[in-house]
Copies of this chain bind each other. A is one copy, B any other.
Amino acid sequence: MARKLRGKGGEKAAERLREAGLRPTRQRLELAGLLFCDEDRHLSAESLHAEAQEAGIKVSLATVYNTLHQFTNAGLLRQVVVDAARSYFDTNIGDHQHFYCEGEGRLIDIPGDAIAVSGVPTPPRGTEIDRVDVVIRLRRA
């Protein structure tokens, strides 16, 4: 599953962004390189920005925020809400859930085929289910 978006020079990534209706700009391509390069990742806007700086990528924090939201709207990322103070973005967009280490602020994936939710009532009239999120909060034993 690694290197989902990168061909030799990023043509695949560019193509994928275009399909999503996003211009393949330098900043988006470089951020996509960080995001989708290796294994699945959980990160905040701040941490991605920091990582980009270290990698010598010239990109503003505002653009990191824009890009994360655009990628999320395009279905390339999933936003995970576990903490009122910080937003996390998950590069794993498949069916899965999370452990959350309250103290550490760390997320751990739980495969979707491992976990199941049953007995969900019919949603209120005029609404339908968008997604079922399970967060298993952990504390130090």
| Whole-angstrom CA separation of A121 from B139 in the bound complex | 15
Residues of chain B within 8 A of A7, CB atoms compared: none
| Whole-angstrom CA separation of A86 from B83 in the bound complex | 10
Closest to A114 in B: B119
The number of times this chain is found in the oligomer is 2
Shortest Cβ distance from residue A42 to the other chain B in the assembled complex, whole angstroms: 14
Interface string of A101-131 (1 = CB under 8 A from B): 1100000101000111111110110111111
Interface string of A52-94 (1 = CB under 8 A from B): 0000000000000000000000000001011110110000000
A-B contact pairs, 16 of them (CB 8 A): A81-B84, A84-B86, A101-B127, A108-B124, A110-B120, A114-B120, A117-B117, A123-B136, A126-B141, A130-B137, A130-B138, A130-B139, A131-B136, A132-B137, A134-B134, A135-B135
